[in-house]
Amino acid sequence: MVSKDEKDEPFVLEKDQCWVLADNDKLKPKEAKDSRLFGPVSMTDIVGRVIYSLRTAVDHGPVLNSHYSMRKDSSLLEIELDVMT
């Protein structure tokens, strides 16, 4: 991982780790509760996945995950969210 801030040291994630970042553009990096605060996250600590993203009234839709996940989630999207994939 390499930061745009030259003061930050680059580092390598260990196997089965991921780096999570807040997606709220209005937050300053020090305000976000993400990996910049608590570091890498073990993949075993991740218990779900995003299947639909609602940003604005016109910018929303299903999130493209793996083919396996998309097949698994298609009935939920179709029935619960009334969205055809």
Summarised one tens digit per residue, pLDDT across range 41-54 is 999 998 888 888 88
Q: Is the torsion defined by CA of 23, 28, 29, 31 positive or negative?
A: negative
Say which residue, 37 or 3, is predicted with more confidence.
37
Task: Please choose, from the candidates 49, 35, 27, the residue with its C-alpha nearest in 3D space to the C-alpha of residue 1.
Answer: 35
Q: Is the pLDDT of residue 85 over 60?
A: no
What's the pTM?
0.55
Coil, helix or strand at residue 17: strand
Q: Is the pLDDT of residue 70 over 90?
A: no
User: Average of pLDDT values for 11-39?
Assistant: 87
- Long-range Cβ contacts of 41-48 (<8 Å, 24+ apart): 41/17, 42/16, 42/17, 43/16, 43/17, 43/18, 44/16, 46/18
